[in-house]
């Protein structure tokens, strides 16, 4: 059973601080990793993805991947109240035939609250 684990939170940070969101996954064969943001009552919005070990930066967001530790994280710099949302970690699951059918396995999400 492929699993993606996230701390449910809530994670509360002051405005301007760095928010750190973490995710672990069980399937060592996973290839691609995604961070989505979901506001209450809305559908998920893709923030960024990563598939190579190391860091990937996009504006205020940095995704970090460590395949050896099966760990992926998202850092949000200069956090703003508008960043308050649930952050979903998703992992590309491979099909039983060894090929990718691009199904994503989602974690349950971490609720982030940025306090003004």
Partner 1 sequence: GAVVSQHPSRVICKSGTSVKIECRSLDFQATTMFWYRQFPKQSLMLMATSNEGSKATYEQGVEKDKFLINHASLTLSTLTVTSAHPEDSSFYICSARDHRVGLAGEQYFGPGTRLTVT
* Binding stretches for partner 1 (CB under 8 A): 31-32, 34, 36, 42-46, 49, 51, 88, 92, 100-104, 106-109
Indicate the pairing of strand 61-66 with strand 4-6: unpaired
Taking the least distance from each CB to partner 1, the nearer of 16 and 101 is: 101
Q: Is 99 helix (H, G, I), strand (E, B) or coil?
A: coil
DSSP per residue, 30-60: ---EEEEEE-TTS--EEEEEE-SSEEEEETT
CB 15 to partner 1: min, Å: 25
Q: To the nearest whole angstrom, how small is the minimum distance from the Cβ of residue 36 to partner 1?
A: 8
Q: In this structure, what token pair is assigned to residue 28? A: 């060592």
Output 25 or 36, the one with its CB closest to partner 1.
Answer: 36
Q: CB 50 → partner 1: shortest distance, Å?
A: 8
- Supply the minimum distance, in Å, between the C-beta of residue 14 and partner 1: 25
When the beta carbons of 24 and 109 are compared against partner 1, the nearer one is 109
CB 92 within 8 A of CB 100: yes
Tell me how far apart the alpha carbons of residues 94 and 72 are, in angstroms, rounded to a whole number.
18
Tell me whether residue 17 or residue 51 sits nearer to partner 1 (CB atom): 51
């Amino acid at each position: 059973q492929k699993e993606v684990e996230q701390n449910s939170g809530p994670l509360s940070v002051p405005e301007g601080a760095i928010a750190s969101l973490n995710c672990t996954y069980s399937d060592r064969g996973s290839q691609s990793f995604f961070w989505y943001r979901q506001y209450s009552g809305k559908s998920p919005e893709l923030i960024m993805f990563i598939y190579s070990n190391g860091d990937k930066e996009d504006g205020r967001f940095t995704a970090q991947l460590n395949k050896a530790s099966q760990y992926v994280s998202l850092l949000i710099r200069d956090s703003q109240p508008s960043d308050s949302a649930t952050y979903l970690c998703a992992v590309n699951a491979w099909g039983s035939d060894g090929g990718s059918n691009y199904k994503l396995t989602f974690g349950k999400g971490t609720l982030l609250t940025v306090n003004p």
